[in-house]
Amino acid sequence: MTEVFLLDVPKISDDQFNNLLTFVSPDRAARVQRLKSRDKQSQSLFAKLLLRAVLCDRLKVQNSELEFAVSEKGKPYLKNCTGVHFSISHTDSLVAVALSNSEVGVDVEAVRPLKHNGYTKFLTPDEQAYIGADSTTTKQRFFEVWTKKEAYFKRFGEGVGAKAASVSVLDEPTVKTAFSNEAVLSVCCDGQFELVEVSEAKRILQSFLNV
Ligand SMILES: CC(C)(COP(=O)(O)OP(=O)(O)OC[C@H]1O[C@@H](n2cnc3c(N)ncnc32)[C@H](O)[C@@H]1OP(=O)(O)O)[C@@H](O)C(=O)NCCC(=O)NCCS
């Protein structure tokens, strides 16, 4: 079973931001603070807060019991906890957390203007043809393919790199995509995923922060 939680990053004051930093490890707090803009800091912090909130809620554990490690290629995982898998993603003011009982990858992207075509080197010819096939939906199609690709490679702890151009994700059965007007979200997992109501994600985060 795979659940996906999506949340808008709220605007908060400096005091609130500093208070929220205490919910993550000192190492993570320092890494968040090293990010250049406050928007990026908030995005990264809320992704970790939502992840911790969801894990505490679903696993019935305390925040202080959660211990994370990171794979050689950067995928975070829970120490001393087999059978619980997650993936996180953030973009603009959105954060996504996928939680599953098997390996999972998630990617969310705000649909925005494409500034350059440097990404094409990561795409197969059929993916490029799909993106270019309808000039009225090029942006949407690009982010559909891109989020599918990110989710696919994140599932097993790889980034989008050299192998990406040799794997077409267009008809990949493990990758599913959901669209809204402003964003695209893809999940790579066994079976279907459930997109949890935003109000439920907010409730879980609120209850975590009020402990
Ligand atoms: C890092 C990467 C996994 C995802 O990057 P992204 O889409 O920019 O960012 P997302 O917000 O979706 O995901 C970031 C999260 O993925 C997780 N992550 C990092 N490395 C990971 C890996 N190897 N496998 C799975 N998850 C990973 C982390 O939790 C990270 O969050 P954090 O940085 O706040 O700790 C990877 O695919 C990548 O390097 N992408 C960039 C490739 C690219 O754009 N190249 C240049 C094109 S011209």
All structural domains of the chain with their residue ranges: 1-104+190-211, 105-188
The CATH number of the structural domain formed by 105-188 is: 3.90.470.20
Q: Return d(Cα 6, Cα 83) in angstroms, integer.
A: 22
| CB-CB contact of 82 with 100 (8 Å) | no
Q: Work out the percent of the chain whose per-residue pLDDT is above 90.
A: 88
Common-topology check for domains 1-104+190-211 and 105-188:
yes
Q: Return d(Cα 70, Cα 77) in angstroms, integer.
A: 6
What is the average per-residue pLDDT within 43-65? 97
> If we measure between CA atoms, which residue out of 67, 88, 68 comes closest to residue 7?
88
Going by DSSP bridges, is the β-strand pair 2-8/193-195 parallel, antiparallel, or unpaired? parallel
pLDDT of residue 117: 77
Does residue 90's CB lie within 6 angstroms of at least one atom of ligand 1? Answer: yes
Reported confidence tier of residue 211, pLDDT bands at 50, 70, 90? low
Tokens of 48: 């970790």
pLDDT tens by residue, 25-42 = 999 999 999 999 999 999
Does residue 89's CB lie within 6 angstroms of at least one atom of ligand 1? Answer: yes
pLDDT of residue 119: 85
pLDDT tens by residue, 167-183 = 999 999 999 999 987 89
Domain 1-104+190-211 has CATH 3.90.470.20: yes
Compute the mean pLDDT over every residue in the chain, rounded to the nearest whole number.
94
Q: Return d(Cα 61, Cα 29) in angstroms, integer.
A: 21
User: DSSP 3-state assignment of 120?
Assistant: helix
| CB-CB contact of 109 with 151 (8 Å) | no
Does residue 73's CB lie within 6 angstroms of at least one atom of ligand 1? Answer: yes
Query: What pTM, to 2 d.p., does this model score?
Result: 0.94
Taking the centre of ligand 1 as the mean of its atom positions, its distance from the CA of residue 159, in whole angstroms, is 6
pLDDT of residue 181: 76
